[in-house]
Structures are given as structure tokens and as C-alpha cells.
Amino acid sequence: MTRVLVGLSGGVDSSAVVDELVAGGHEVVACVLRMQEGGAPVPAPDALDRARSLCAERGVKLVEEDVSSRFACAVVEPFVGEYARGRTPNPCVTCNAAVKFSGLLAAADRFGCEKVATGHYAGTVPDGPGRALITRGADAAKDQSYFLYRLAPHQTARLWFPLAARTKDATRAYAREHALTAAEAKDSTGVCFAPGGDYHATVSERAPGLLAPGPIVTEDGTCLGEHRGIACYTLGQRKGLGLSGGPWFITRIDPESNTVTVAHGTAPRWRSFSLSDAVLWRDLPAGGLDCMAQAHYRARAVPAHVTREGKRLKVELAEGDTLAASGQSCVLYRGATVIGGGIIELDDCQGRSR
């Protein structure tokens, strides 16, 4: 059997993984990463209590790792900084690569664990000696492969996702059947490190100017109303603008003038865009690479052609267009396998379709 370190949050998914691996005879070490204390602790106190109780009941060694300094520097500060640039960050992508999995793998080394298991709805596929790539989970509604695209193949080779072929409903059913206290725990929503999941308080505390009111204008400069601060908005947003005569959609956020620009009719969509800070886990042929591109978590992946453009990747959709926002991640797939991705850049981009 395998000596495995399980990333335990106290939620239903990771709790089910701990229980199942113990029942399967594996030698389990559970690890809770304590990412933030204070107003919005991560994990929350009730989740931490559930994690401790589960390990005590199952006779599992529990270690609690303090990664709060790294989390603040690598996740929270860049999160606020992106809003200051009028962009829309994705903190989960950053956290998985820079904090969560790096922390779990380091803990696994210290405790002599061959594998690291988590409750993510994703899978892996071998990609040569000592390498593996992330694949989609079976539950399309809960698939988390999008958030894991920055994990390097040598890291992924050590990962184990026991829920890869399972649905969320099946996981909850397992938790109820085995009397896990986390069986009815609510899924986490919003930004985990923000009070109540509302990130505005976090932004206000660190950069109050980002919640300063300013004008909402049309693309010809006509003022339609006042916004609540640029950090409250994202490109393509329709709801919550407080404007009559809609639908209105945000087409630009300008932090220098503290202005939000809108257009009437349809959301801005894009046929092409570039990716900064990109990773590609497949060789890029001279003529480019055909794949599927997913421009945000809930987006449908669409056929695309990817080429190198200086230090960036250029993504050109083969058919149709998609919603996109600077700062979000676009993840590239071959079938169900993640082959890379990067941060969407729309500045000076000529790929807007309307």
C-alpha cells in the first residue's frame, strides 16, 4: 500500500478522500494548510474542527502547516494589484500553483510520502517518465482541471485524485453512508480569504481607492451614471450596473481615470487574444498548435490555433468568439487533457468581434 499525504480542508471532498484511502489500507498523513488567520481564516474554524475530528476518529496523523505569509504575498497582494490595474484576477489558479500544491508536495517530502492526494474533481494521465498531465474530471459540472493548468508535469506525476471518476452527488452519498461530519458541509463559494466570500472588504482594506465612485460612460463619452469603484466590475459584466434602458455591458475599465465604459446591446466578445505568463506542456510546432481553448471557468472550450508571439502565446479561435477578460486564465486542452494556458491580455488587442 502507498504512504500518501492528503490535503485536507475539512470539506466533504477531502474528508471523503481521507476516509476512503484509510479504508483501502493506505498509510495516510493528513495535511491542513493554514493560509490566513484573522477576519476570514482559511480554513474556516468549523472546517478545521471537522478535519481534526476526522483524523482523531480514523487514527490519522494530522499536520497543520502555516503558509499564511506565502499566501499573502503570492495570492492576496497580487489579487488586489490586478484590480488596481482594471483587470479580473483568478486567485485559485495562483494559489494552486504557488501555495497549495507546492506546500503539499514539500510536506509530503518531509513526511516520506510518495503521493499527494486531494479532493479535486480532476484526473491525471502519464506523459513520459516522471511526468503526468492534468485531465478533466468525470463530473463536468464540478471539473476543476481549469484551476490546475499551471502545475508542472513533474509535480502532477506525484498527484492522486481519487474523485476523478466520481460525481459530487456520489461523494456526498459516500460521506453520508460513512457518517462523515463533513457530509452536509456547504461547498465553498466566492473568494475564500475574504469575509463572507465578498472580496470587496479585502480590496477596501488594502487599496481603498479601488472602491471610490466614478463615472459610467458610453463609448462616445456620454455619462450614464456612477459606479461603486472599479474593483466591483469586470469586462463583459451586465448585472449590477444600475443603468436603465439596457442591456448595457462593460467594455473597458480605466483605473487612471476611474472610469467604467459600457456599450449597449451585446457583451464584448473576442476572436483572438494573447496570453502572458504562459505555460505549454506540449512542444509548439513551427506552424502553431491546434487545440481547444477555455477562456474562463464556466466557458465552453472552443477550437483554437495557438502560436508564439514574442514572450506571449497568441490564441486565435477557429470558429466563433468567446467572452474574455484581462487577468483571467485561458486554459488549453487536447481532448480532456490540459496542455497549458496563460493570463489573458486584451490591451490593444484587435480580436474583438463586436
**Amino acid 9: pLDDT:** 96
Q: Identify whether residues 12 and 157 lie together within a single domain.
A: yes
Range of the domain at 244: 212-264
Provide the mean pLDDT of the chain: 94
Positions of E strands within the chain = 3-7, 27-34, 61-66, 115-117, 122-126, 132-136, 159-160, 214-218, 223-227, 248-254, 259-264, 272-280, 289-294, 302-309, 312-317, 329-334, 337-345
Question: For residue 249, what is the domain's CATH number?
Answer: 2.30.30.280
189 within a domain of the structure (yes/no)? no
92 noted as active-site residue: no
Distance separating alpha carbons of residues 305 and 338, to the nearest angstrom: 15
Residue 111 pLDDT exceeds 90: yes
Q: Identify whether residues 71 and 165 lie together within a single domain.
A: yes
Residue 348 pLDDT exceeds 70: no
Neighbours of 295 (CB within 10 A): 26
Q: Identify whether residues 326 and 258 lie together within a single domain.
A: no
Q: Identify whether residues 21 and 136 lie together within a single domain.
A: yes
**Amino acid 136: pLDDT:** 98
Residue 20 pLDDT exceeds 70: yes
Asked if 144 and 122 touch (Cβ cutoff 8 Å), the reply is: yes
pLDDT digits over 70-79, tens only? 999 999 999 9
Q: Identify whether residues 20 and 147 lie together within a single domain.
A: yes
Total structural domains in the chain?
A: 3
Residue 218 pLDDT exceeds 80: yes
206 within a domain of the structure (yes/no)? no
Which member of 192, 232, 291, 330 is catalytic? 192
Q: Identify whether residues 34 and 64 lie together within a single domain.
A: yes
**Stretch 319-333: mean pLDDT:** 94
Asked if 123 and 134 touch (Cβ cutoff 8 Å), the reply is: yes
Beta bridge partners of 236: none
Grid cell digits, residue 166:
466520481
Residue 258 pLDDT exceeds 90: yes
Which member of 95, 113, 232, 291 is catalytic? 95
Q: Using pLDDT thresholds of 50, 70 and 90, give the confidence band for residue 225.
A: very high
pLDDT digits over 201-210, tens only? 888 888 988 9
Question: For residue 287, what is the domain's CATH number?
Answer: 2.40.30.10
199 within a domain of the structure (yes/no)? no
What angle separates helix 12-23 from helix 45-58, to the nearest 10 degrees? 10
**Amino acid 354: pLDDT:** 55
Helix count and strand count (H, E) for the chain: 9, 17
Distance separating alpha carbons of residues 62 and 56, to the nearest angstrom: 8
Q: Identify whether residues 63 and 129 lie together within a single domain.
A: yes
pLDDT digits over 132-149, tens only? 999 999 999 999 999 999
95 noted as active-site residue: yes
